[in-house]
Homo-oligomer: A and B are copies of this chain.
Amino acid sequence: MTMKLWYWPEIQGRGEFIRLALEAAGIAYEDCARVSGADALIADLDARKGRAPFAPPYLDIDGFTIAQVADILLYLGDRHDLAPSRIADRYWVHQLQLTIADLVAEVHNVHHPVAVMDYYDDQKPEAARAARQFREERLPKFLDYFEQAAECNDGPWMIDHRWTYADTSLFQLIEGLRYAFPRRMATLTPDYPALARIHGLVADLPGIRQYLASNRRIAFNEQGIFRHYPELDDE
């Protein structure tokens, strides 16, 4: 039975962390709203009772529904071999995923600091201020952390000697940061060789290479989480 993924059809957004894990693992899935549209996603979500998602993305697997990016990846890791096999490693990969999620939330907060339901245009001065501290303090603090985490592994990946969902998520994080903050990332990138290496290794996984070259990969744009507003970027 093919998994059904429900997420906004016109952005990478949080759904992209799920798409990448599925594509890297070669798991068949239907990206439902890309076929049937955003209205179908809203209708599907509204119709759900009981153990419903709070928000997309969510996976529907033969009637079992699971939401929240980190929880979906935990599930896929357990069931589809996208996580390391040792128990202690499984908590570590999840811990990394949750820290990536924290950084993603801070990235979103940069362009939506005071009103998550309003437009960026309605909060530009506040966003400029949020962006400054993000670029100068928060972003290097997180990247330092992930670099150090990668360095403590013997192998070339984040954990273990093979890719896990922490690697595909880290790839997306770096992709998104390079898109949103190209000038800042040009300055920072040389300081993080392990992260650049993992980014390259994930880009070269057969499933990811095919995915990135396909029309299934939506281009970054200014409706997603990683948005390029030149006025929010700086060296």
* A residues with CB within 8 A of B: 49-54, 64, 66-68, 70-71, 74-75, 88, 91-92, 94-95, 98-99, 102, 105-106, 109, 113-118, 126, 129-130, 133, 137-138, 142, 145, 148-149, 152
Contacts and interface: CB of A to CB of B under 8 A. Distances in A.
Contact of A114 (B70, B118, B126, B148): B126
A129 B152 contact: no
Contacts of A130: 113-115
A67 to B, nearest CB: 6
A152 B52 CA distance: 10
Contact of A98 (B71, B91, B99): B71
Nearest to A148: B52
A195 to B, nearest CB: 15
| Copies of this protein, total | 2
A152 B116 CA distance: 28
A48 to B, nearest CB: 10
B115 A133 contact: yes
A113 B114 contact: yes
Given A71-B98, A102-B54, A113-B113, A118 B133 contact: yes
A87 to B, nearest CB: 9
B133 A92 contact: no
A114 B138 contact: no
A113 to B, nearest CB: 5
Contacts of A148: 52
Nearest to A58: B95
B51 A149 contact: yes
Contacts of A51: 92, 95, 149, 152
A53 B145 CA distance: 9
Contacts of A95: 51, 53, 66-68, 71
Contact of A117 (B49, B52, B137): B137
Contact of A91 (B50, B66, B137): B66
